[in-house]
């Protein structure tokens, strides 16, 4: 079976940036996803299309084809009051270098890194951590299988036994298969 749209694919790989390994996935913890659903970078998927179990791959994605270039527009000032809990500023969470999960005005989740804590504002960088980096991947395909109707309907893979086994059966919650690490 070859990698094509709506197949569940498991890969092991090593990701390098400037010759430094920044991520390494093995068969105990492969990357598993439904191919063609938009979950991965388009150029990444293009480089593995048509491969089958046992096939090796090695390719580079230029920053423009990965997470883009870092932009100044993604560095913003946020009022310090946004980070208050019960009227108290959270000094432990909001310090330089910490990544903080946030939500934009449309309810989209995003992570920002605290760049500076100022008197009235917090400077946050919402660029992807790999923005501006060229990515080098080297790995192999460890599994290709048909996606179940339920996986295709939900747009993500399920743990053995389907959604609900070993995790919250409500897939729409953050504790269930959609975000609780049950996949």
Q: Is residue 142 located within the same domain as residue 167?
A: no
Domain assignment present for 39: yes
Q: Over range 94-108, report the average pLDDT.
A: 91
Domain assignment present for 1: no
Q: Is residue 56 located within the same domain as residue 79?
A: no
pLDDT, tens only, 13-63? 999 999 999 999 999 999 999 999 988 999 999 999 999 999 999 999 999
**Beta-bridge partner residues of 9:** 33, 144
Q: Is residue 94 located within the same domain as residue 53?
A: no
Q: Over range 152-172, report the average pLDDT.
A: 58
Q: Is residue 53 located within the same domain as residue 104?
A: no
Phi, psi of 13 (to 5 degrees): -165, 170
What is the extent of the structural domain holding 88?
72-125
pLDDT at residue 176, rounded to an integer: 40
- How many other C-beta atoms are found inside a 10 Å radius of the C-beta of residue 119? 5
Give residue 179's pLDDT band: very low, low, confident or very high (50, 70, 90): very low
Q: Is residue 63 located within the same domain as residue 83?
A: no
CATH code of the domain in which 94 resides: 2.40.10.330
Q: Is residue 138 located within the same domain as residue 61?
A: yes
Considering its fold, how many domains does the chain have in total?
Answer: 3
Q: Is residue 139 located within the same domain as residue 167?
A: no
Q: Is residue 30 located within the same domain as residue 51?
A: yes
Lowest model confidence (mean pLDDT) among 18-22, 56-60, 113-117, 157-161: 157-161
Domain assignment present for 2: no
Report the mean per-residue pLDDT for the chain.
Answer: 87
- Among residues 4, 2, 7, the alpha carbon closest in space to that of 146 is found at 7
> Which percentage of the chain shows pLDDT scores above 90?
71
Q: Is residue 154 located within the same domain as residue 142?
A: no
pLDDT, tens only, 123-145? 999 999 999 999 999 999 999 99
What is the rounded CA–CA span in Å between residue 31 and residue 156? Answer: 12
Domain assignment present for 58: yes
Which of the two residues, 164 and 29, has the higher pLDDT score? Answer: 29
> Contact at 8 Å (CB) between 126 and 109?
no
Q: Is residue 119 located within the same domain as residue 45?
A: no
> What's the chain's Rg over C-alpha atoms?
19
What is the rounded CA–CA span in Å between residue 148 and residue 129? Answer: 33
What is the rounded CA–CA span in Å between residue 5 and residue 3? Answer: 7
Give residue 160's pLDDT band: very low, low, confident or very high (50, 70, 90): low
What is the rounded CA–CA span in Å between residue 153 and residue 148? Answer: 9
> Contact at 8 Å (CB) between 180 and 167?
yes
């Amino acid at each position: 079976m070859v990698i094509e749209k709506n197949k569940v694919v498991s890969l092991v790989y090593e990701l390098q940036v400037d010759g430094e390994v920044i991520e390494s996935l093995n068969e105990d913890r492969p990357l598993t996803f439904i191919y063609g659903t938009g979950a991965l970078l388009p150029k990444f998927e293009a480089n593995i299309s048509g491969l089958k179990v046992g096939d090796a791959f090695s390719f580079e994605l230029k920053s423009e084809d990965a997470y883009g270039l870092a932009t100044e527009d993604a560095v913003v000032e946020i009022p310090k009051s946004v980070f208050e809990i019960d009227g108290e500023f959270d000094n432990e969470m909001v310090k330089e270098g910490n990544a903080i999960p946030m939500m934009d005005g449309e309810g989209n989740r995003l992570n920002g890194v605290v760049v500076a804590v100022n008197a009235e504002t917090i400077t946050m960088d919402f660029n992807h951590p790999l923005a501006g980096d060229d990515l080098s991947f080297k790995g192999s395909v460890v599994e290709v299988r048909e996606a179940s109707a339920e996986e295709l309907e939900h747009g993500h893979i399920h743990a053995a036994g389907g959604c609900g086994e070993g995790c919250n059966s409500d897939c729409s919650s953050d504790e269930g298969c959609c975000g609780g690490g049950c996949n």
